[in-house]
């Protein structure tokens, strides 16, 4: 199975799981429809589901003038999977992930969905690059500063705190990031 096809099948699987509340194994079997599975496909599905809370928090921070629950199901599913791929699959260049996600959005939704997906993923990349060179102390200081300037919503601060905490783990050098990815992969059941 080529990676583009694996991404398409992963979107279909994640969509089925969200809308029909199928179990992961049932959704995978349904999406594959008798075809042989692929490790990349399974990594996308299980990894996205495993990290969905962190992914959703990051999406909330990067959606401009949108709420996550107001997005279409297709757009939300594509953004979740692409965000997982950006953060946890280091072997694929960021521009490839974004281009694939935009094409999937255009294919499964429409041109406007492609623009939305491109914008949100671009924001995630931009924030990640800004935070890569910061030390954990600088990130924590930034959290306190932005928390004081916000409207006082505790949910927003908690979301931002979890994102900063995750970024601290990811931005303290490539060893930390690789360990985090390896630790994540070791918990995935590859069947």
Domain ranges of the chain: 3-186
Predicted confidence band at 130 (pLDDT cuts at 50, 70, 90)? confident
pLDDT (tens digit per residue) in 155-185 = 332 333 333 334 333 333 332 333 232 233 3
Question: DSSP letter at 56?
Answer: H
Predicted confidence band at 21 (pLDDT cuts at 50, 70, 90)? confident
Predicted confidence band at 129 (pLDDT cuts at 50, 70, 90)? confident
Q: What is the pLDDT of residue 136?
A: 66
23 φ, ψ to 5°? -70, 155
Q: Which residue has the higher pLDDT, 191 or 9?
A: 9
Global pTM value: 0.71
pLDDT (tens digit per residue) in 64-122 = 888 998 999 999 999 999 999 999 999 999 999 999 999 999 999 999 999 999 999 99
Question: DSSP letter at 70?
Answer: G
Token readout for 89 is 């699959």
Q: What value does the mean pLDDT of the chain take?
A: 77
CA-based nearest residue to 60, from 174, 185, 144, 161: 161
Domain 3-186 has CATH 1.10.730.10: no
Q: What is the pLDDT of residue 92?
A: 94
- Return the percentage of the chain with pLDDT > 90, whole number: 61
Q: Give mean pLDDT, residues 12-34.
A: 92
């Amino acid at each position: 199975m080529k990676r583009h096809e694996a991404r398409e099948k992963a979107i279909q699987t994640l969509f089925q799981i969200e809308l029909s509340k199928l179990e992961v194994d049932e959704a995978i079997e349904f999406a594959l429809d008798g075809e042989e599975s692929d490790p990349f496909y399974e990594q996308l599905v299980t990894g996205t589901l495993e990290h969905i809370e962190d992914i959703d928090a990051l999406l909330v921070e990067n959606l401009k003038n949108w709420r996550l629950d107001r997005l279409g199901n297709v757009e939300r599913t594509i953004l979740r999977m692409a965000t997982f791929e950006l953060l946890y699959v280091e072997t694929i260049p960021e521009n490839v992930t974004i281009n694939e996600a935009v094409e999937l959005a255009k294919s499964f939704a429409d041109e406007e969905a492609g623009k939305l997906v491109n914008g949100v993923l671009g924001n995630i990349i931009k924030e990640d690059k800004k935070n890569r060179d910061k030390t954990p102390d600088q990130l924590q200081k930034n959290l306190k500063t932005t928390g004081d300037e916000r409207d006082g919503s505790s949910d927003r601060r908690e979301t931002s705190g979890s994102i900063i905490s995750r970024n601290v783990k990811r931005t303290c050098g490539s060893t930390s990031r690789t360990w985090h990815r390896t630790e994540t992969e070791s918990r995935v059941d590859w069947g």
